[in-house]
Amino acid sequence: MDLRDKIIERLREVKDPGTTLDVVSMGLIKDLTVTTEGKASFTFRPSSPICPLVFSLALKVQEAVKEMEEVKGLEMNVVDHRMAEELNTLLKGD
C-alpha cells in the first residue's frame, strides 16, 4: 500500500460528528497528492458553507495525517466555508 492509500485509510477514521460518516465517504477530501518525499497536500471542503463544526473537524483531519510517521509535511487548504480564511490561518500556524 502506498502512502496516498495509507492517508486515505487514516482519513476514513475521521468521522463527521454531525453525520457519523467518515470524511472520505462524504467526499470532503479533494485533490490528495503525495510526493515521493512524503509531503501530502489536499483540499478540505466542508459539507456546508456554514458548518458549525468545521474548526474541530478540520483540526481532526489535520491531526490524523500529521500523526502518520511517513508523512513529512502537510498542506491542507479549506475551501467553500464562510470561515475558510480564518481556518486556513489557524491550520498553517500548527
Q: What is the CATH number of the domain that holds 28?
A: 3.30.300.130
The SS3 assignment for 31 reads strand
pTM (2 decimals)? Answer: 0.92
More confident residue, 4 or 53: 4
Q: What is the band of 57 on the pLDDT scale with cuts at 50, 70, 90?
A: very high
Beta carbons within 8 Å of 65's beta carbon, 6+ residues apart: 7, 10, 11, 40, 71, 74, 76
Q: How many domains does the chain have?
A: 1
pLDDT of 39 strictly over 70? yes
- Residue 18 or residue 80, greater confidence: 80
To 10 degrees, the CA torsion angle through 86, 50, 78, 87?
20
Q: What is the mean pLDDT of the chain?
A: 94
User: Which residues span the domain enclosing 87?
Assistant: 3-93
Burial class (CB in 10 A: 0-12, 13-18, 19+), 87: buried
Contact at 8 Å (CB) between 35 and 71? no
In whole angstroms, what is the distance from residue 88 CA to residue 76 CA? Answer: 8
Report d(CA 2, CA 36) in Å as an integer.
Answer: 10
